[in-house]
């Protein structure tokens, strides 16, 4: 029996190591990414092209921007791809990233139920729309998770004279979840929500919701890409990580981003300099 147990332990360890070796390919990198890019399906389209060209496997961990940056600070990734410029610049200033590059943009929109109880349909002024929603006491679903989208939303509220925190739990509902989960909640509650356009277009549970506010310059959504600093994180696969960054910024990568469409709509607009 004792030898049988020992055999079992050996087998379990061997199995675990065998499983682990799948991940241990030399040419693979981890990209800490925002959920919007992953949920939109962009990576499913882009990454196979990159892997075909370079042989580098790209593993995407899709979490909120705040979480992605924290994970990268723990050295748990080679490349950071998020959308919260001030936080990204702090990341660089702290020496955690090599350099930040503009990669692409899209925009945020405010979606809401067909009925539009606050009457914001067709507005192109984000602050005005938010004020109207708050004024009408209409339900608003916020990410509330320190993500790029949430940071953007908070900065928009900051320009209004409304303090959404005072309505927290009443008309202002913080889900503390990803974009998709928040949209699901918004649809369930007939609440307005701010989302990036890419996630919205590819979102499958729209019910009778529509884009109601769009087109404000303030709703511009810039994505950046950063190689995690190997001087801070020894484990960073510099070669593979750099070639991913380079490829994304290259004409090929930018063209591939531009070519990605869902339901005939472009989701991201490349703007690498």
| Chain contacts with other proteins (rule: CB under 8 A) | 1-2, 5, 8-9, 12, 15-17, 19-20, 22-24, 30, 35, 39, 43-44, 59-62, 71, 73-76, 177-181, 183-184, 202-206, 233, 235
Q: Where are the alpha helices (DSSP H) in 22-145?
A: 35-39, 42-54, 65-73, 85-93, 126-136
Closest approach, Cβ 32 to other proteins, in A, equals 9
Q: Please, which residue, 30 or 240, has the CB nearer to other proteins?
A: 30
> How do the residues of the chain divide into helix, strand and coil, expressed in percent and rounded to 5?
45, 25, 30
Measured distance CA(139)–CA(143) in Å, rounded: 13
Alpha-carbon dihedral of residues 16, 20, 21, 27, nearest 10 degrees?
A: 180
CA distance 176 to 193: 13
Helix (H) or strand (E) holding 175: none
Total length of the chain: 273
Whichever of 164 and 180 has its CB closer to other proteins, that residue is 180
Of 55, 44, 50, 84, the closest CA to residue 196 belongs to 84
SS3 (DSSP) at 107: strand
Residue 273 Cβ vs other proteins, minimum distance, rounded to whole Å: 30
Least distance in angstroms from the C-beta of 56 to other proteins: 14
- Please say which residue, 5 or 93, places its beta carbon nearer to other proteins: 5
Q: Are strands 192-196 and 172-174 parallel, antiparallel or unpaired?
A: unpaired
CB 193 to other proteins: min, Å: 12
Instruction: Rank residues 131 and 147 by Cβ distance to other proteins and give the closer one.
Output: 147
The three-class DSSP label of residue 122 is coil
Closer of 75 and 87 to other proteins (Cβ): 75
* Side-chain half-sphere CA neighbours of 18 within 13 A: 6
Collapsed DSSP state (helix, strand, coil) of residue 250: coil
Q: How far is the CB of 12 from other proteins (least distance, A)?
A: 5
Residue 235 CB, nearest approach to other proteins (Å):
6
Nearer to other proteins, 106 or 177 (CB): 177
Q: Please say which residue, 51 or 271, places its beta carbon nearer to other proteins.
A: 51
Residue 199: CB minimum distance to other proteins, A: 8
């Amino acid at each position: 029996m004792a030898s049988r147990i020992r055999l079992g332990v050996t087998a379990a360890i061997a199995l675990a190591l065998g499983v682990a070796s799948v991940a241990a390919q030399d040419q693979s990198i981890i990209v800490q990414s925002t959920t919007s890019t992953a949920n939109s399906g962009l990576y499913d389209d882009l990454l196979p092209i990159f892997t075909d060209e370079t042989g580098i496997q790209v593993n995407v961990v899709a979490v909120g921007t705040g979480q992605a940056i924290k994970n990268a600070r723990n050295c748990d990734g080679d490349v950071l791809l998020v959308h919260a410029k001030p936080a990204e610049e702090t990341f660089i200033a702290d020496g955690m990233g090599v350099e930040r590059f503009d990669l692409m943009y899209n925009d945020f929109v405010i979606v809401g139920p067909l009925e539009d109880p606050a009457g914001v349909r067709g507005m192109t002024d984000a602050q005005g729309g938010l004020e109207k929603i708050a004024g009408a006491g209409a339900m608003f679903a916020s990410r509330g998770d320190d993500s790029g989208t949430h940071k953007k939303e908070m900065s928009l509220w900051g320009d209004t004279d409304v303090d959404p925190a005072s309505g927290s739990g009443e008309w202002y509902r913080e889900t503390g979840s990803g974009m998709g989960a928040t949209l699901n909640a918004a649809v369930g509650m007939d609440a307005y929500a701010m989302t990036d356009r890419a996630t919205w277009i590819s979102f499958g549970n729209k019910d009778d919701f529509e884009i109601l506010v769009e087109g404000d310059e303030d709703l511009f959504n810039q994505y950046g890409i950063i190689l995690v600093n190997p001087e801070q994180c020894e484990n960073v696969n510099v070669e593979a990580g750099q070639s991913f960054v380079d490829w994304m910024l290259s004409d090929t990568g930018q063209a591939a981003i531009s070519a990605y469409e869902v339901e005939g709509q472009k989701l991201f607009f490349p703007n690498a300099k």
